[in-house]
Amino acid sequence: MPNRLDVADLEQLLAERGEQLMRAAIALTGSRQAGEDLLQAALERVLATPRRAVADTEGYLRRTLYNLAADGWRRRDRWRARVPLLESSASRADDDVAAIDLRDALVRVLIQLPPRQRAVIVLRYWEQLSEAETAELLGCSAGTVKSNASKGMRKLRELVAAWNLDEPYLAKEKS
Amino acid sequence: MNVDVTELLVEGLDRLTDGAIVPAGLAQQAERNRRIRRVKVRAMTGAGSAMAVAGVALGVVAGVAGPAAAPDSGSSGTIGAVSLDRAQRALASTYDHGLIEEIQVAVHHVSLGRWQSASHETLWQYGDLVRQQGATSSGRLVFDLNSVARTVHGQALISGYGVDYPARTWWHTARPPWEGETSPTPARCPGVALPAPTGSPVNWPARIRAAVSCGLYKVSRTARLHGVKLSVIVPADSPAGAAEPDRVLWVDQATGLPARITWTWLGGRPSGSVTGDFSWLRPTSAHLAAFDVPIPVGFRKVGPGPLPQFGFGSFANLVPLPSPSPSSSLVPGRSATTTPTASPTGSPTRAPRPVPSPSGSPTPIPSSSPTPSPSGPPVPSPSGSPGPAPSGSPAPSPSGG
């Protein structure tokens, strides 16, 4: 038995569960290209891990994926570089809000959050994990999860407010 | 609003990720990237340790020469350029603390094969990359060779350039690698010839340890020179006959790297001997570029000729002279510390430098003068001691052309 997971094991896993993992990677990065890069980076980590340390390959890959995203993965300043763009967009308060797809705007805002806040929000609200489950997956305390989720959502609300959106519009979008 | 924002966010993420598919071969690509990263990490680790080792020494020692300085474009028409590829460089950086080996070889009544007028040679090696120069006792260049291992269409080749100064010719050669070990390797120590053939990457400390642990060599005593502890390594068995030289290797105990190696043919009169003094250099880009051989203007290109093979990497090619020879082409060898040899550019090759020591103190090359040893008799002068007449049985010289 080889000491490490081999490529065939992971190809099999990706064939069966790859779509869900890929969706998570895209949600964490904001684009398909970056999602592929993140998933590939997670695969590299798993391939370098001794087999005996990987009882549940999918769970381990998933954990690696989220932790890479939460740790900034690439350059930590990448998200910061995008903030000015967002601020300049947000300053256009007189734009026709109806022309803006609010859902896409929220996703763009999400991508600009700090990596850990982003990972927590994706896990809590998109994956619908509990605070305890999120904390376990990210290897932090439930309090940290709660704090990050709170900060992240506050920023999302602030940025949404900057678009001068009102409740009726949101209600209309929902319907 | 709170609920609305989260639901809208989830909807947005669903839209973003809808229809996601994993590209084919993603795991295979990840495996390739992992392997490349491992090589890079090894290279960086090797380079880091080399810098740490060399940096300590170079902080104390001023001036590092390396292989003969970059060719002077004014005096050379062509450059016989050889270089390591990325993988070879990564491999080379893992050997011998990642340092370039330089050996100043002086011969005494021993022929350097094809070029009998050469009494002194300098050899540099870094992984597969080799440069070798031979010069007369007066410092006049006789030959200049380099080589590197290559894989062409799946076939391993050794390729390189050579310049024969007396004949005013040069060549380019590509040939299959030299398979055989040149030094005798008893059955109990397969593949542990000491030293190894020139051009094959050798991890000296590991090689010496292996040769001692399998009983091919033994530590005869320790010596101290300029404050540096050396182990004196000799073959476990006596030379089989007059044609077999008496071999001694001085090894820096701190680094495990050789400081001096001598072979002496005691059966003849006068004795033939070869002495190599080692220096260890940082693999800077300037040093690596200096492995190129300059081809002087006006030299004629000829068919394939010899590449670096002989020297301390393959002593079988050294030929003890058959009789007492007053030949003017072979004068008694002098230590490299006192005999400057011209480089292709005309500048003298510098004297050996101290051996870098990871312990922080520079480790000087042993001089050729006898030195008292607290643990035993004085360190002999391997290259200068007269002895009985040579045996007269020349060894084969595959590289002698």
**Range of B180-184, B293-297, B335-339, B384-388 with top mean pLDDT:** B293-297
Contacts with A169 (C-beta within 8 Å, 6 or more apart), sequence order = A97, A98, A102
Chain A residues close to B28, C-beta within 8 Å = 7, 11
Determine the pLDDT at residue B104: 85
Question: A168 — phi, psi (to 5°)?
Answer: -60, -40
**Range of A90-104, A161-175, B306-320 with top mean pLDDT:** B306-320
Contact B4, A170 (CB under 8 A): yes
Determine the pLDDT at residue B181: 38
Q: Do B9 and A121 touch (CB under 8 A)?
A: yes
Chain A residues close to B11, C-beta within 8 Å = 103
For residue B310, is pLDDT > 70?
no
Q: Residue B94 is encoded by which pair of tokens?
A: 């893992």
Chain B residues close to A30, C-beta within 8 Å = 16
For residue B390, is pLDDT > 50?
no
What is the C-alpha to C-alpha distance for residues B214 and B285, in angstroms, rounded to an integer?
38
Which residue of A14, A43, A174 is in closest CB contact with B4? Answer: A174
Which residue of B5, B28, B31 is in closest CB contact with A106? Answer: B5
For residue B79, the tally of other CB atoms under 10 A from its CB is 15
pLDDT tens-digit series, residues B69-122: 433 333 456 778 887 777 777 777 777 778 888 888 887 777 666 777 788 888
Determine the pLDDT at residue B38: 61
For residue B309, is pLDDT > 50?
yes
For residue B318, the tally of other CB atoms under 10 A from its CB is 26
Determine the pLDDT at residue A160: 72
> B46 to chain A nearest CA, in Å?
20
Tell me the DSSP string of B335-370: -TTT---B-TTSPBPPPPPPBP-TTSS-BPPPPSS-
CA atoms within 13 A on the CB side of B40: 6
Mean pLDDT, residues B173-190: 62
> B50 to chain A nearest CA, in Å?
26
Chain B residues close to A107, C-beta within 8 Å = 9, 12-13, 15-16
Contact B275, B392 (CB under 8 A): no
Chain B residues close to A21, C-beta within 8 Å = 22
What is the C-alpha to C-alpha distance for residues B354 and B257, in angstroms, rounded to an integer?
12
Determine the pLDDT at residue B290: 82
Chain B residues close to A153, C-beta within 8 Å = 2, 5-6
pLDDT tens-digit series, residues B16-46: 888 888 888 888 888 877 777 665 455 444 4
Q: Do A7 and B28 touch (CB under 8 A)?
A: yes
For residue B219, the tally of other CB atoms under 10 A from its CB is 14
Q: Do A11 and B27 touch (CB under 8 A)?
A: yes
pLDDT band at B205 (very low <50, low <70, confident <90, very high): confident
pLDDT band at A98 (very low <50, low <70, confident <90, very high): very low
A152, exposed or middle or buried, with CB in 10 Å at 0-12, 13-18, 19+?
buried
Determine the pLDDT at residue B236: 83
pLDDT tens-digit series, residues A100-130: 567 877 888 888 888 899 999 999 999 899 9
What is the C-alpha to C-alpha distance for residues A97 and A81, in angstroms, rounded to an integer?
25
A131, exposed or middle or buried, with CB in 10 Å at 0-12, 13-18, 19+?
middle
Determine the pLDDT at residue B227: 66
Give the torsion through C-alpha atoms of B72, B77, B82, B85, to 10 deg: 90
What is the C-alpha to C-alpha distance for residues A172 and A168, in angstroms, rounded to an integer?
6
What is the C-alpha to C-alpha distance for residues B351 and B63, in angstroms, rounded to an integer?
11
Chain B within 8 Å of A48 (Cβ-Cβ)?
Answer: yes
Contact A167, B5 (CB under 8 A): no
Q: Do A170 and B8 touch (CB under 8 A)?
A: yes
What is the C-alpha to C-alpha distance for residues B377 and B281, in angstroms, rounded to an integer?
31
pTM: 0.44
Strand, helix or coil for residue B225: strand
Q: How much of chain A, in percent, has pLDDT values that exceed 70?
A: 72
> What is the distance, to the nearest Å, from the Cα of residue B142 to the centroid of all Cα atoms in its chain?
20
> B43 to chain A nearest CA, in Å?
18
> A77 to chain B nearest CA, in Å?
23
pLDDT tens-digit series, residues B136-162: 888 888 999 998 887 777 777 888 999
A122, exposed or middle or buried, with CB in 10 Å at 0-12, 13-18, 19+?
buried
**Range of A143-147, A162-166, B212-216, B248-252 with top mean pLDDT:** A143-147
Of A156, A158, A133, residue with least CA distance to A146: A133
Determine the pLDDT at residue A50: 79
Q: Do B37 and A44 touch (CB under 8 A)?
A: yes
Chain A residues close to B32, C-beta within 8 Å = none
> A161 to chain B nearest CA, in Å?
10
Which amino acid, one-letter code, is at B212? V
Q: Do A156 and B37 touch (CB under 8 A)?
A: no
For B12, which residue in chain A has the nearest alpha carbon? Answer: A103
> A18 to chain B nearest CA, in Å?
6
Determine the pLDDT at residue A149: 94
Determine the pLDDT at residue B243: 63
A114, exposed or middle or buried, with CB in 10 Å at 0-12, 13-18, 19+?
middle
Tell me the DSSP string of chain A: --SB--HHHHHHHHHHHHHHHHHHHHHHHSSHHHHHHHHHHHHHHHHTSBGGG-SSHHHHHHHHHHHHHHTTSS-TTHHHHHHHHHHHHHT-TTS-GGGS-HHHHHHHHHHTS-HHHHHHHIIIIIS---HHHHHHHHTS-HHHHHHHHHHHHHHHHHHHHHTT--HHHHHHHH-
Interface test with B, best of A4, A19, A23 (most B CBs within 10 A): A23
Lowest mean pLDDT among A26-30, B293-297, B352-356: B352-356
Mean pLDDT, residues B373-393: 30
Q: Residue B257 is encoded by which pair of tokens?
A: 């790297």
Determine the pLDDT at residue A119: 93
For residue B370, is pLDDT > 60?
no
Average model confidence (pLDDT) across chain B: 65
Strands of the sheet with B169-175, listed across from one edge: B217-225, B228-235, B246-252, B258-265, B272-281, B100-108, B120-126, B129-135, B141-152, B155-164, B169-175, B300-301
What is the C-alpha to C-alpha distance for residues B35 and A4, in angstroms, rounded to an integer?
13
DSSP-assigned beta bridge partners for residue B373: B376
Where is pLDDT greater, at B244 or A171?
A: B244
Chain B within 8 Å of A115 (Cβ-Cβ)?
Answer: no
Contact B52, A50 (CB under 8 A): no
For residue B393, the tally of other CB atoms under 10 A from its CB is 15
Chain B within 8 Å of A28 (Cβ-Cβ)?
Answer: no
Of B227, B216, B268, residue with least CA distance to B354: B227
For A14, which residue in chain B has the nearest alpha carbon? Answer: B22
Long-range contact list for A3-6, CB < 8 A, 24+ apart? A3/A50, A3/A51, A3/A52, A4/A47, A4/A48, A4/A49, A4/A50, A4/A51, A5/A46, A5/A47, A5/A49, A5/A51, A5/A54, A5/A57
Q: Do A22 and B17 touch (CB under 8 A)?
A: yes
For A123, which residue in chain B has the nearest alpha carbon? Answer: B10
